[in-house]
Amino acid sequence: MTPLPSLNGLRAFEAAARHMSFSKAAEELHVTQTAISHQIRKLEEQLGIRLFVRQVRAVSLTREGQDYLPAVAAAFEDLRRATARLARPRERRILTVSALPSLAAKWLVPRLGAFQAAHPGIEVRITTSMHLVEFRREQVDMAIRHGHGQWPGLRADWLMSEDIFPVCSPALLEGPNALRRPEDLARYTLLGTAHNQDEWPLWLTAAGLPVSLIRRSLTFDLSLMAYQAAMDGVGVALGRTPLVEADLAAGRLVIPFGLPQPATAGYYVVSPQASADLPDIALFRGWLLAQATDRAAEHALPGRLAPSGGAVHAAGP
């Protein structure tokens, strides 16, 4: 095994590189500037590589120093986080989970009460975002992602699939202009999301229907906003199974006709390989997987029908 260099030298290097100043690094570490310079020079001797270019009143990183810094900075950040976790009261642990906004609001949050009741010593903090979370930088322990389960350096456990199908207010099924057949969609506003503007054309094509049925459309930032508009009778949205099942069960939304299409991607529970087996992360992952299994049994849709033989690919924020 390659021997580790001096910890003091690494601390001095990381601080000096972050500030681009030996004097500011000395202030942060409560030592003299001479001590910082000596520690870095000793580190360079141990590595056999120059890390800084020293000038009269400034320093800059060499190419080797630039390559070395991210790993060293990440290692110290991991130590800071581990120490912070250790310093927390042992009776209350914090688990930060990232999820897409609509999935968090419609599927995850309504279930969290059961987890908290069973594990009062763990405080679950939910953070939402549309981007792929950066675990170390954003201090997130685990995430629920939508995709195909291939993220280098991460453990990804299959959580659940989804079908995609039209949903609307029960009011749209009443009266002389009621929505009864897929062809009737031409009379209604089709509700969608800005990040996935091709979802209606994809669904229509997969269902063997002409894209010309789209006459009027209304776009939102989040799926949950489109579903709320559908509940209010504004138009017809494309529902995804885990996001609309509660509203369907409560009668706030209905499925006007069949033609559910299977999505080509699904939801995964994701965490860094290095921390995937930590007790709290493993516990919450197991709970999530059990919740998904129970959901599949309780909210099975009627049989799928895909006349075109295709499948709809859609992300689920």
What is the location of CATH 1.10.10.10 in the chain? Answer: 7-87
pLDDT score at 82: 82
Residue 108 pLDDT class (50, 70, 90 cuts):
very high
Tell me which residue of 257, 205, 208, 209 sits closest to 236, measured CA to CA: 257
How far out from the chain centre does Cα 260 lie? 25
Strands (E) in the chain, as ranges, are 52-54, 59-61, 93-99, 122-128, 142-147, 154-160, 163-167, 189-193, 216-220, 236-240, 261-262, 266-272
Fold of 7-87: Arc Repressor Mutant, subunit A (1.10.10)
pTM (two decimals): 0.65
Q: Which CATH class, in words, describes the domain spanning 91-317?
A: alpha beta
Per-residue pLDDT tens over the stretch 271-295: 999 899 999 999 999 999 999 987 6
Tell me the residue type at 111.
R
Q: What is the pLDDT of residues 194-203, one digit of tens each?
A: 888 889 999 9
pLDDT tens-place string over residues 45-67: 999 999 999 887 788 999 999 99
Mean of per-residue pLDDT scores for the chain? 87
Residues of the chain with CATH 3.40.190.290: 91-317
